Structures are given as structure tokens and as C-alpha cells.
Amino acid sequence: MSVERLPDGPYDSVWASPGRVNLIGEHTDYNDGFVLPFALPHCTVVGGRRRDAPGWTVTSEGYEGAVTFGPDEKVEGWAAYVAGVVWALREAGHDVPGAELSIVSDVPTGAGLSSSAAIECAVMAVLLDLAGLDVPMAVRPRLAQRAENEYVGAPTGIMDQSASTLGRTGHALFLDCRSLATEQVPFDLAAQGLAILVVDSKAPHAHVTGEYAARRRSCEEAAKILDVAALRDVTDLDGALARLDDEVMRRRVRHVVTENQRVLDTVDALRAGDAREIGPLMTASHESMRDDYEITVPQVDTVVDAALAAGAYGARMTGGGFGGCVLALVDADRCDAVEAAVREAFADAGFTPPDAFVVTPAEGTHKIR
């Protein structure tokens, strides 16, 4: 991300926060479960200038005009992610100084790569820096999640803000979404001749927030019926399924419980040092999202099928679903061939051509200057 794209410097503080992909563990975070995301090289960069008067003015590359808001104003649209962070920090008792903020980003938007979490985390870092407040990185994801849940109104879990804040170069972040315990799991694919190819399906997102909320509600209702605090606590899957009358709810529960186990198995395989082993787990995760959680769309299923047919060790959709990106684990020297196979399958199906790029785990929220 080129910081030079920031307009009208100088700034008192400049921070960057990345987007993320999730290697495995989808829709498990709000079930108190496990996730294994990593931070992307693609970042949102925020430059901030302290101002003496109260209130905030924010501009963002790609959006016309500046948005100005005061402490008690409700902001809508893209700037809600900024105002939400101000709100969450003030709710937590922090004295947030007035500021002028400029945002630039190369995190693709609408692709399920957490461009909104990247904004939240970078804005928070700048505001805390301007205020001279030393709030530990470990507690920031919860604050950013609060901004998204309670101010913006999206009922998301804590994965995206955690990956954007706590990601480390060369590592995937194993996060227990209940205890918030983390482990940085080495994920150096190049050493094994492998690569993660990201394919943006370009499928138009439709009804994402409503469908996401419906999945979450179904999980919470199931947990109530099963008399557990969260689906994370289901230890006997068959016994749990036998206690649920609703077939759709049974499928949702099966996805969450089996997905949690796949995260644990993936972490074990990576600790043992053989990344190829995680391929079948990725593909099983995709099948579970497609058949049980029902959050895939034809474009992402086509990417997965074409990538596997072209020799990928595993492939799965990443993120909330209903479009977005697919990750394929491939031999590093097969990236072009797999991408070509996906492009051909898309052309045959009449889909909008996809984007594809190779990613490696990058650094979470960091100060630029």
C-alpha cells in the first residue's frame, strides 16, 4: 500500500491495518469456536491530524467529499465504520481527541476480505496514538467488533478485527473465540513449494447481512435447545442432532461442530509441518459450507471445482459467504495453470471473469510513522 497516496499531509500519526483471508473456521467465531485467519499484504492506511476543536472529519479515497461528525451524531454509509470506532472508544471511557482523518486502501471491497475491519482497526490505532493512549493490541479487536455490531449494526463475530490487528508475517492466527487465547502458527508455504492462490469470484453479494444474521440466530436457538452456552460446547454431534427437530437447524449445527474440529485438525497438521495435509480439510470445509450452511453461490463452487480438477490440494470459500473469494492450496509452480483453469470454467459458465492473486501472511496493525 503506497502511503504516498494519502492526500494533504503532513500527519501527526499514520497507521496501517490489513485485510484478511480465513484459512479455515467459517461461521465458528460467533459460536465461541476456533478460527485460523491470516493478515493480507493488502492494507488500509489512515493518516490523522489532531485538532483542538471537538469533532471528526474524514475523507476516503474512492468516495466523494468529506464527512464531518460530532460525538453524538449517527453517521451512515462508509464513514459509519469510522464514527463507530469513535463511539466504541468513548463508550469504553477513552477521551478521543478531535481529528482530521484520511483513508486510502488497497484491500478489495465487497470481496469478503474484511475491508471494513481494516478501516476500523487502522482508525482506532490512529485515534489512540493521537490521544497518547496505550491500549493493548489484544483488547482492540473487541472494541472494533463493538463498533461494527452496535454502531454499524452488523452482527459479526470477532475474527476479522483479530486477524487485522494481531496477524503476523509468516503465520496464521489460531484464535479461540471464547477465551481469546491466540497462537501464531508458522505458515511458510514457500519453503514447501506451495502457495495460496486467492480467486475473487466477483459474484455480486446479495442479502448478505440478512442471511448472515439468520445463520447466527439459528445457531443461537440451537444452542438454547441443546442447553449449551454456545455450539462450541457440543461434544456429541450425533446426540445433539437427534435432539433437534428442524432439518435446517440440524445442518447448521453439523457445519459448526465439524468446522471447529477441522480447525483443530488443520492446526495439528501445520504444527507437524506438512501443509499439504490441510488440503482435504479445506475442501471438506467448503463442502460443509455448500451443503450444510448453504452460504456458497455457483461462482465460488465453480472456482473450487475447477481448482481441484486442475490439481489444487484443497480449495474453499473464505469469509462470510454468498460470493467473495476462494483460497486454493496449490504447488507454487501451478498457480498460473490453476488460474487458467478457473478462468476457462468461468468463461464456459458465462460468469464475470474472476481476479486471482497469490497471498502470503503479512503483518497486522502497524505504525507507518
Give the whole-angstrom CA distance, residue 365 versus residue 11: 18
How is residue 84 written as a grid cell?
463507530
Query: What is the distance between the alpha carbons of residues 315 and 249, in angstroms, rounded to a whole number?
Result: 25
On the CB side of 297, CA atoms within 13 Å amount to 20
Q: Tell me the closest approach of the beta carbon of residue 5 to ligand GAF, in angstroms.
A: 26
Q: Which is nearer to ligand GAF, 29 or 106 (CB)?
A: 29
Selected range binding ligand GAF among 63-71, 154-162, 225-233, 302-310, rule: CB under 6 A:
154-162
Say which DSSP state 158 is in: S
34-63 burial, b for 16+ CB within 10 Å, e for fewer?
A: bbbbbbbbbbbbbbbbbeeeeebbbbbeee
Q: Decide if residue 159 touches ligand GAF (CB under 6 A).
A: yes
Does residue 219 interact with ligand GAF by CB under 6 A? no
Give the active site residues. 160
Query: Which 8-state DSSP code applies to residue 3?
Result: G
Q: How far is the CB of 319 from ligand GAF (least distance, A)?
A: 5
Binding-residue pattern over the window 160 to 179 for ligand GAF, x denoting contact by CB under 6 A:
x-------------------
Residue 319 binds ligand GAF, judged by CB under 6 A: yes
Among residues 31, 59, 156, 285, the one that binds ligand GAF under rule CB under 6 A: 156
Check whether 112 is labelled as a binding-site residue: yes
Q: 3-class SS at 46?
A: strand
**Separation of alpha carbons 326 and 298, rounded Å:** 12
Residues 98-127 that bind ligand GAF (CB under 6 A): none
String marking each residue 14-33 x if it binds ligand GAF according to CB under 6 A = --------x---xx-xx---
Q: Which helix (H) or strand (E) holds 225?
A: helix 208-225
Question: Closest approach of Cβ 330 to ligand GAF, in Å?
Answer: 22
Q: Of the listed pieces 10-18, 151-159, 218-226, 340-348, which binds ligand GAF according to CB under 6 A?
A: 151-159
28 known member of a binding site: yes
In 3D, which of 173, 190, 135 has the Cα closest to residue 360?
Answer: 190
Return binding residues for substrate.
26-29, 212
* Interface with ligand GAF (CB under 6 A): 22, 26-27, 29-30, 156-157, 159-160, 319-320
